[in-house]
Amino acid sequence: MPVYSVVWGPDSEKVLYTAGKQLIIKPLQPNAKVLQWKAHDGIILKVDWNSVNDLILSAGEDCKYKWSYALEKPNTGSIFNIAWSIDGTQIAGACGNGHVVFAHVVEQRWEWKNFEVTLIKRRTMQVRNVLNDAVDLLEFRDRVIKASLNYAHLVVSTSLQCYVFSEFSKNPHIVSFVGNQVTIRRADGSLVHISISPYPAILHEYVSSSKWEDAVRLCRFVKEQTMWACLAAMAVANRDMTTAEIAYAAIGEIDKVQYISSIKDLPSKESKMAHILMFSGNIQEAEIVLLQAGLVYQAIQININLYNWERALELAVKYKTHVDTVLAYRQKFLETFGKQETNKRYLQYADGLHIDWEKIKAKIEMEITKEKERSSSSQSSKSLGLKH
């Protein structure tokens, strides 16, 4: 009988494999007992064993995928592959009909004294006091990955943040917030005085006054990743790319540092401005800047780089230039992924057109040269104007 899937156990001391409708756990020790059970009504095609929470997940030709917490029958066809997420809270399955299904671990339960906490949805927890049946809901912005309830504290870790709940967290009210001093009134009426870091406010003052060197010195003194990240975001928003480059380098964002460095090498101020806007996520504004400056090819190219194929072809047709360039890059993109062209507009303009990469590269070089010459002449005109 063929084995369609085999995985190691979490401790690497046993293996789990399929045998028809059966799942078999075989320890590596010669005399250890083999565990076997019927898991599906059809041949089992795939199995996975989570190394974090020790759960086994299986999928077979009966079009069911099973695990300890749920049994569903979605219209997916055969499931050919399944895998756990690294944190052990999600699974993904590749389906025969081309769909990908996702599932999340829910109904996890934690208990401490008279409190019972249940994960009822991936971003919602229910807290219940068994003494009086009082129920409270905790809503989170991101999915819950791990939680612990002990010593009168509930610690919840999501994909982006960590929350700590205690008696302090029940309906607190901020009484005053002056400088870096915060006064909070707890549910029992007592006042709690807390000091917060003064550095974020100082950083904002420096940025508001455009004192970028002082802002960099402050971040170097404080040595906190969050401060550098804030400075990077504010520098990009204010288009100070030198400061942004320093800040991104400090938090290890090498790809962003390289991109900022490439912006500095662009020949014209319009191209630099457009790429800064792109870096900030303002794609449409970047395109407008290039078109207003007459840099049509550059506007087309940024859409190609972003795989915005419809807009790239629309610009090429509208300005009657580089249609073959767009078609060539589109063809290269499809060949890379082994796909056939299905877009009607691309099929229309590609009909009878021969792609000549040498000609296209020459046109691109000419566009870059024209932009450099235009930038040089503009700078020369400014210099002459100053001398006059």
| pLDDT confidence band for 386 (50 / 70 / 90) | very low
Q: How many residues does the chain have?
A: 388
Q: What is the Cα–Cα distance from 280 to 302, expressed in whole angstroms?
A: 14
Report the range of poorest mean pLDDT among 2-16, 157-171, 235-249, 278-292. 157-171
Task: Look at residue 387 in the predicted model and tell me its pLDDT.
Answer: 43
| pLDDT confidence band for 128 (50 / 70 / 90) | confident
DSSP-based helix, strand, coil % in the chain, nearest 5: 40, 30, 35
Q: What is the Cα–Cα distance from 213 to 226, expressed in whole angstroms?
A: 18
Question: Does the pLDDT of residue 274 top 80, yes or no?
Answer: yes
Question: Does the pLDDT of residue 20 top 70, yes or no?
Answer: yes
Question: Does the pLDDT of residue 212 top 90, yes or no?
Answer: yes
Backbone angles phi, psi at 116, to 5 degrees: -130, 125
How does the average pLDDT of the chain come out, rounded?
86
Report the range of poorest mean pLDDT among 87-101, 231-245, 251-265. 87-101
Q: What is the mean pLDDT of residues 8-20?
A: 91
Instruction: Please write down the long-range contacts of 189-196, taking CB distance under 8 Å and 24 or more positions apart.
Output: 192/168
Helix (H) or strand (E) holding 214: helix 212-222
Contact in structure between 194 and 212 (CB atoms under 8 Å): no
| Tokens matching residue 250 | 């400090």
Q: What is the Cα–Cα distance from 89 to 119, expressed in whole angstroms?
A: 12
Q: What is the mean pLDDT of residues 298-321?
A: 92
Q: What is the Cα–Cα distance from 280 to 255, expressed in whole angstroms?
A: 14
User: Could you tell me which residues are beta bridge partners of residue 16?
Assistant: 7, 25
Classified by CATH at the fold level, domain 108-195 comes out as Thrombin, subunit H (2.40.10)
Angle at 336 between CA 78 and CA 339, to 5 degrees: 50
Note the pLDDT tens digit of each residue in 341-360. Answer: 899 999 998 887 888 899 99
Angle at 334 between CA 332 and CA 336, to 5 degrees: 70
Task: Look at residue 317 in the predicted model and tell me its pLDDT.
Answer: 92
Query: Which superfamily does 6-104 belong to?
Result: TolB, C-terminal domain (2.120.10.30)
Task: Look at residue 72 in the predicted model and tell me its pLDDT.
Answer: 60
Report the range of poorest mean pLDDT among 76-80, 228-232, 299-303. 76-80
Note the pLDDT tens digit of each residue in 63-76. Answer: 766 655 555 667 77
Q: Where are the domains of the chain?
A: 6-104, 108-195, 199-265, 289-388
User: Could you tell me which residues are beta bridge partners of residue 14?
Assistant: 27
Tell me the percentage of the chain whose pLDDT exceeds 70: 92
Q: From edge to edge, which strands make up the β-sheet containing 44-49? A: 44-49, 56-60, 65-66, 71-72
For residue 330, what are the contacts with CB-CB under 8 A and spacing of at least 6? 309, 313, 341, 346
Q: What is the mean pLDDT of residues 246-269?
A: 90
Backbone angles phi, psi at 315, to 5 degrees: -65, -40
